[in-house]
């Protein structure tokens, strides 16, 4: 179970094969994977490896991906429109 980082992906991003592939491609620690019918899946065991690089935020539309720190001020990282 992830202790430090959580990632939320909006349904319209998760169901878009193009965006899903981009997310899989950019994440340096394999938090995203492609599931059945190229639907996006979150790899739970890799969540705590998140380096906070924000590459996932940059390839998704504003608000499409949210990276939540589960410590400190519980800051949420997201791209704003």
Residue 23: CB minimum distance to other proteins, A = 20
DSSP state of 71: S
String of contacts with other proteins for each residue 10-49, x by CB under 8 A: -------------------x---------------x--xx
H helices of 1-81, in order, are 11-14, 17-26, 55-59
Among 51, 53, 58, 76, binds other proteins (CB under 8 A): 51
In whole angstroms, give the CA distance from residue 58 to residue 13: 13
In whole angstroms, give the CA distance from residue 40 to residue 65: 12
Residue 9: CB minimum distance to other proteins, A = 21
Nearer to other proteins by C-beta: 1 or 36? 1
N-terminal to C-terminal alpha carbon distance within the chain: 31
Where does this chain bind other proteins (CB under 8 A)? 3-4, 29, 45, 48-49, 51-52, 71-73
């Amino acid at each position: 179970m992830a202790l430090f980082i959580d990632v939320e992906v909006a349904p319209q991003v998760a169901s878009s094969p193009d965006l899903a592939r981009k997310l899989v491609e950019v994440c340096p620690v394999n938090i995203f994977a492609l599931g059945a019918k190229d639907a996006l899946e979150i790899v739970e065991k890799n969540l705590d490896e998140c380096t906070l690089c924000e590459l996932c935020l940059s390839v998704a539309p504003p608000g499409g991906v949210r990276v939540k720190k589960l410590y400190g001020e519980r800051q949420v990282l997201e791209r704003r429109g």
